[in-house]
Every structure is written in C-alpha cells, then in structure tokens.
C-alpha cells in the first residue's frame, strides 16, 4: 500500500483536529513560471494560516506522496525539469521510478482523502474538452468517488463547459455557487450556465457538504467561486482568446495531454498579463474561501 508522508505541521494539525486546507502542486510544476509559482504557493499557504487553518500542500518527492511541504520542497518541485504531473493513476509510476511530481486536482484529492482532509483549494478543475467528447479529465471521475469540498473558480474556459456540467450531474457531484447563481469560467466570472444551488457564507457551504455526505453519497462537493471582480477578465475578451487558441491548436495538430497546456499558454499570450493577474487573484481568493469553509467544517 502506498504510504503518505506528512510535514510536522500537518501531522500535528491532524492529531489536534484543526481545520486543514489541501493545495495542489501541478500549478507550481506545470502551471506558472518560476519564481511566480513559488511565490504564489507560499502566499496561498500564508493566507490559509491567516484565516485560522493549516495548509497541506500535496506533492510527490522521490516517489513518496507528501501531504504538507516546506519551502525547500516547493522550490525543488518548481525547479525540477524532469518533474511529472501526477494524477490519480500516476502515484504508482512515481513510486516505482522514484520521481518528483506535481499533483493535479485528481491526484491531490486522492491523497487528501486518504489523509482524512476534507477541504481543497485549486484554480480551475479539468473537464470535457471541446470537439473531443471522449477527452475527459480524471478530475471529474475522481470527484465522483472522493468526499472532499473542492473550492475552485469553475472549470478552465478552454473546455466544453455545458458538457462538463452535464458530466458532473451524471456523477452526482453538486455544483454549488458561492455567492453566484452561475458557473464561473475560470478567468471570467460567469459562463452563464446555472449551478446546482447557491450559498452565501462559508458556514452554509460546510453544512451543505455535511448534509450531502450524511446521505451516504461519497462524491465531492464542488464550491464554485467567481474570480475577484478586480482580477477577472471580461467575458468577451476571454471568449475571443479561447476561440483563437482552439484554432491554433487544430492548426498545429496538438492532441492528448498536450492540449490543455498549449491552450492555457496560448490564451495567456493572447490576453497579455491580464490572464496571469486573473489566475493569481482567483487562486489566492479560493485559498481564503477554502480556509473559512474548513474552519466552519471543523466547528460543526
């Protein structure tokens, strides 16, 4: 059985039943340039502590799944050119080959659930790709069987959002809008698509999750938080950039696992610094909201 390794801070928090928020590392290893990636990871952890919770950044070091990382660990992942992306299926590969890895949403919540941690913050989840209905992120299927609150800014705008929401419905994952009645579209505050239900406060989100799991449903609760108004991209600018990026991907015959990194990078190029500002803003905001939810969950 794959063993988890814990930082001292996380181990103590688990022993003392303190509120904990899990964080991914794929955004560090594959999502952002250095040193912005390291600065963001540390800023998210600090925000979580300020809100009264303990951060548990998940990653793989030398093949070992780690829950809770220090600054040296994060630096190592950020600068390792051979680092892999670890989804749910990849822990065994990393373990056998003793690789370093940044965990995706699916990889992170798999480890967090095993550790007994119920709240996780990320940027945007994966989903169903446009014009490729069989290309579906493992994030969705992992959420279907992992009882964790996933705090995000919706799904990445490059995806087929209606199909993604339909799949979440099929998988019994409630999509809960945090102070919004529509599903956020990552950099943009709204996709115009309705959520399952809406909550106004962190306590409401915690109560909803408890009620969901009390029925014996072992799926995640997706808490969708719009990007902060001052950081979000206008819907029209976002839509135009995504359409152009999709055309470029088709032109260059980008396929499989290369599609998402290509599209995100191309959207970033087309929108200049605006998408980076939106990305950092929403990640920090999600960490803050997740910490508040974790605090409320620990009180119930």
Q: Which residues are catalytic?
A: 24, 156
Contacts of 232 (CB under 8 A, 6+ apart): 187, 188, 189, 226, 278, 281, 282
Structure tokens at 59: 């990653």
For 223, the token pair is 């808490």
Instruction: Give CA–CA dist 175/161, Å, rounded.
Output: 12
- Cα separation, 254 vs 263, in Å, equals 9
Residue 101 forms beta bridges with which residues? 60, 84
Lookup: tokens for 272: 């200049």
Instruction: Give rounded-to-5 percent helix, strand, coil for the chain.
Output: 50, 20, 30
Of 133, 139, 129, 152, which is closest to residue 21 (Cα–Cα)?
Answer: 152
CA angle 123, 127, 131 (to 5 degrees): 130
Q: What gap in Å lies between CA 66 and CA 279, rounded to an integer?
A: 25
Instruction: Put residue 82 in one of left, alpha, beta given phi > 0 → left and psi -120 to 50 → alpha.
Output: alpha
Would you say 23 and 121 are in contact if contact means Cβ atoms under 8 Å apart? Answer: yes
* Half-sphere CA count of 172, side-chain side, radius 13 A: 12
**Sequence-ordered alpha helix ranges (H) in 6-104:** 8-15, 26, 36-50, 71-79, 91-97
């Amino acid at each position: 059985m794959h063993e988890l390794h814990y930082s001292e801070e996380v181990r103590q928090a688990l022993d003392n039943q303190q509120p904990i928020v899990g964080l991914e590392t794929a955004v560090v290893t594959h999502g952002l340039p250095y040193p912005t990636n390291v600065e963001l990871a540390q800023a998210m952890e600090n925000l979580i502590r300020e809100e009264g919770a303990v951060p548990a950044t998940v990653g793989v070091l030398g093949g070992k799944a780690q829950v809770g990382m220090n600054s040296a660990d994060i630096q190592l992942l950020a600068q390792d050119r051979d680092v892999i992306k670890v989804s749910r299926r990849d822990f065994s590969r990393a373990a056998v080959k003793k690789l370093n890895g940044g965990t995706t949403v699916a990889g992170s919540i798999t480890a967090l659930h095993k550790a007994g941690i119920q709240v996780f913050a990320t940027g945007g989840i994966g989903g169903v790709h446009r014009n490729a209905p069989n290309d579906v992120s493992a994030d969705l299927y992992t959420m279907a069987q992992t009882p964790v609150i996933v705090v995000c800014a919706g799904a990445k705008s490059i995806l087929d959002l209606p199909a993604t929401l339909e799949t979440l419905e099929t998988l019994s994952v409630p999509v809960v809008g945090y102070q919004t009645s529509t599903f956020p579209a990552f950099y943009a505050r709204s996709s115009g698509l309705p959520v399952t239900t809406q909550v106004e406060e962190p306590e409401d989100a915690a109560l909803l999750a408890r009620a969901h799991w009390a029925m014996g449903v072992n799926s995640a609760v997706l808490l969708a938080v719009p990007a902060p108004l001052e950081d979000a991209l206008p819907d029209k600018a976002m839509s135009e950039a995504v359409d152009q990026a999709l055309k470029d991907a088709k032109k260059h015959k980008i396929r499989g696992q290369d599609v998402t990194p290509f599209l995100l990078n191309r959207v970033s190029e087309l929108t200049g610094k605006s998408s980076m500002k939106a990305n950092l803003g929403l990640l920090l905001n999600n960490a803050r909201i997740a910490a508040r939810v974790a605090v409320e969950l620990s009180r119930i």
